[in-house]
Amino acid sequence: MIYTVTVNPSIDYIVQLPQLTLGTVNRMSYDTKLPGGKGINVSRILNQLAVPNAAWGFLGGFTGNFIQQQLAAEKITTDFTEIPADTRINVKIKANEETEINGQGPTITTAAIANFKAKFTQLQAGDIVVMSGSLPPTLAASFYRDLIPLIQARGAEFVIDTTGQALLDTLSAQPLVVKPNHHELAALFNVELNNDAAIVKYGRKLLALGAKHVLVSMAGAGAFLITEQQVYKSTAPQGTVINSVGAGDSMIAGFVGTFSQTHDPLKSFETGLACGSATAFSEDLADQAKIATVRQTIQISPYTDQLN
Ligand SMILES: Nc1ncnc2c1ncn2[C@@H]1O[C@H](COP(=O)(O)OP(=O)(O)OP(=O)(O)O)[C@@H](O)[C@H]1O
Ligand SMILES: O=P(O)(O)OC[C@@]1(O)O[C@H](CO)[C@@H](O)[C@@H]1O
């Protein structure tokens, strides 16, 4: 079973306008509200892949109710911990450029934290817990790191989608997979990554520090899968990019979903690429049909320049 953890979910309020002009009244040409937050996005894609999963985290208020209803309509299993305050609303403006305005997130009470942590006793060997997204201000910076012993005590594995020092701090606990994009990888080591050999070299450092698998995504320029045994590169599938929100979450969902069923990193990479690109080519997150179509166009080759 896969459990996704979204401690700071959101309603993603998607707003489209021909052009955004600051300092004036702008009129929307289209708007929609989606259940959001990185772990919730992972659950929504896992559901499209028919991979059993449950979404955990904190939800509150009318915004929390909306998310709960939307996930129920998609038949996603949820076990959120209720909080008194409203879950945040994140604004995604699609105009000449994409602009995101994300909320800080509500107060999480001490009682809610205790209720949430109590859920981890139900984990079993073989389960995978995917922790993604920002922490609301009331949660300690070490919140994710502190969950790892609760997960590992039950023989379950974890995936953490974070960046910077927070990511480096979790590597020694051996996450199943990490997925920095190439900019995040460069920032982790304070270097510039100008070619494939450099990306592979620094991706392998994440393996050496403890990650079991490393994905390095490069948006429209493709991605790498780096494991102890082999390195693979894929060009990104071609298509019209409609939405980049959630492409990274979709890639993680695809990888983890297939890995949970096959333990095959290459097949998992293929599903991850298909899900990431299918979301980039969709208005909302990708659906099953789009993922299947994009999968047929994926081209992965072994990357041989591993001596650098
Ligand atoms: N322009 C694009 N064309 C094709 N595929 C894309 C494009 N952008 C993203 N993808 C797909 O999604 C995957 C993840 O995208 P990206 O590298 O942007 O991750 P990310 O930075 O974590 O994304 P985000 O934070 O925007 O969700 C890519 O490896 C690719 O498969
Ligand atoms: O503010 P965070 O938690 O870093 O990111 C939240 C968020 O931008 O991430 C998802 C896309 O990856 C969206 O659904 C959501 O609004």
161 a catalytic residue: no
Q: What pLDDT, on the 0 to 100 scale, is given for residue 308?
A: 45
Tokens of 33: 């509200």
Contact between 298 and 274 under an 8 Å Cβ cutoff? The reply is: yes
Contact between 40 and 71 under an 8 Å Cβ cutoff? The reply is: yes
Tokens of 226: 């780096």
> Which pLDDT band holds residue 231 (cuts at 50, 70, 90)?
very high
Report the residue among 5, 91, 102 best suited for mutation to probe ligand 2: largest number of ligand atoms under 8 A from its CB.
Answer: 102
Among residues 37, 95, 98, the alpha carbon closest in space to that of 71 is found at 37
Average confidence (pLDDT) over 88-94: 96
pLDDT tens, residue by residue, 260-299: 999 999 999 999 999 999 999 999 999 999 999 999 999 9
Among residues 104, 101, 69, 71, the alpha carbon closest in space to that of 88 is found at 104
Contact between 90 and 102 under an 8 Å Cβ cutoff? The reply is: yes
* Distance in angstroms (rounded) separating the CA atoms of residues 105 and 112: 14
* Distance in angstroms (rounded) separating the CA atoms of residues 57 and 71: 13
Let me know if domain 1-160 sits in CATH 1.10.3720.10: no
Tokens of 157: 């594995």
Q: What pLDDT, on the 0 to 100 scale, is given for residue 165?
A: 86
> Which pLDDT band holds residue 71 (cuts at 50, 70, 90)?
very high
Q: What pLDDT, on the 0 to 100 scale, is given for residue 243?
A: 87
Cβ atoms < 10 Å from Cβ of 166: 15
Burial of 132 per CB tally in 10 Å (0-12, 13-18, 19+):
buried
Among residues 176, 60, 154, 162, the alpha carbon closest in space to that of 107 is found at 60
* Distance in angstroms (rounded) separating the CA atoms of residues 207 and 265: 14
H/E element, 46:
helix 38-48
* Distance in angstroms (rounded) separating the CA atoms of residues 238 and 48: 21
Predicted-complex ipTM score: 0.97
> Where are the domains positioned within the chain?
1-160, 162-308
Distance (angstroms) between ligand 2 centre and the Cα of 249 equals 9
H/E element, 223:
strand 223-226
| 11-20, 159-168, 180-189, 219-228: least confident range | 159-168
Sign of CA dihedral 141, 143, 149, 152: negative
Average confidence (pLDDT) over 181-208: 96
pLDDT of 307 higher than 60: no
Distance (angstroms) between ligand 1 centre and the Cα of 60 equals 30
Architecture of domain 162-308: 3-Layer(aba) Sandwich (3.40)
* Distance in angstroms (rounded) separating the CA atoms of residues 9 and 88: 7
Ligand 2 pocket check for 179: Cβ under 6 Å: no
Distance (angstroms) between ligand 1 centre and the Cα of 127 equals 26
Let me know if the fold of 1-160 is the same as that of 162-308: yes
pTM for the predicted model, two decimal places: 0.96
| Catalytic residue chosen out of the listed positions 249, 264, 284, 287 | 249
| 28-42, 63-77, 84-98, 158-172: least confident range | 158-172
Single-letter code of the amino acid located at 181: N
* Distance in angstroms (rounded) separating the CA atoms of residues 242 and 283: 6
Strand order in the sheet with 88-94: 30-36, 10-16, 88-94, 98-101
pLDDT tens, residue by residue, 105-129: 999 999 999 999 999 999 999 999 9
pLDDT of 45 higher than 60: yes
Among residues 50, 55, 52, the alpha carbon closest in space to that of 71 is found at 55
* Distance in angstroms (rounded) separating the CA atoms of residues 30 and 25: 15
129: three-class secondary structure by DSSP: strand
| 57-71, 119-133, 160-174, 184-198: least confident range | 160-174
Ligand 2 pocket check for 133: Cβ under 6 Å: yes
Average confidence (pLDDT) over 87-106: 95
Q: What pLDDT, on the 0 to 100 scale, is given for residue 305?
A: 72
Average confidence (pLDDT) over 231-258: 95
